Amino acid sequence: DTEVTQTPKHLVMGMTNKKSLKCEQHMGHRAMYWYKQKAKKPPELMFVYSYEKLSINESVPSRFSPECPNSSLLNLHLHALQPEDSALYLCASSQGGQGARKFFGPGTRLTVL
């Protein structure tokens, strides 16, 4: 199984809503990532979890809250988002280490109204 799954595929939320994005992998990877991607732009790193601990936060606003309940799951909790947060949110996993191959999920298309 070399797949990273993400749910939901699409999400529309208001600025006062609380929602969560979910990501799952069963490849035994110890590093998991959240990226944000605007249309026709490259993905931008948000968070990195290594061995279920947050190792990198790329100065992401606190309205985005990551969580890694176990080695297979990664969540991104959303609260009080702004319309400019609308984007494709990609989850990825890897064995870890510099240059390790990353496997990306299909993403969640988020629209904030």
Partner 1 sequence: TQLLEQSPQFLSIQEGENLTVYCNSSSVFSSLQWYRQEPGEGPVLLVTVVTGGEVKKLKRLTFQFGDARKDSSLHITAAQPGDTGLYLCAGPYGGATNKLIFGTGTLLAVQP
In the complex, the residues that contact partner 1 under the rule CB under 8 A are 4, 31, 33, 40-45, 48, 50, 55-56, 90, 92, 94, 96-107, 109
CA 27 to CA 5: how far, in whole Å? 11
For residues 16 and 97, which CB has a smaller minimum distance to partner 1 in the complex? 97
Strand partners, 22: 7, 75
Of 19 and 106, nearer to partner 1 (C-beta) is 106
DSSP 8-state assignment for residue 86: -
Q: Give dist(CA 10, CA 85) in Å, integer.
A: 14
Token pair belonging to 12: 């529309």
Closest approach, Cβ 101 to partner 1, in A, equals: 5
Residue 106 C-beta: closest distance to partner 1, Å: 5
DSSP letters for 74-90:
EEEEEES--GGG-EEEE
* Minimum CB distance to partner 1, residue 86 (Å): 15
> 82 or 95, CB closer to partner 1?
95
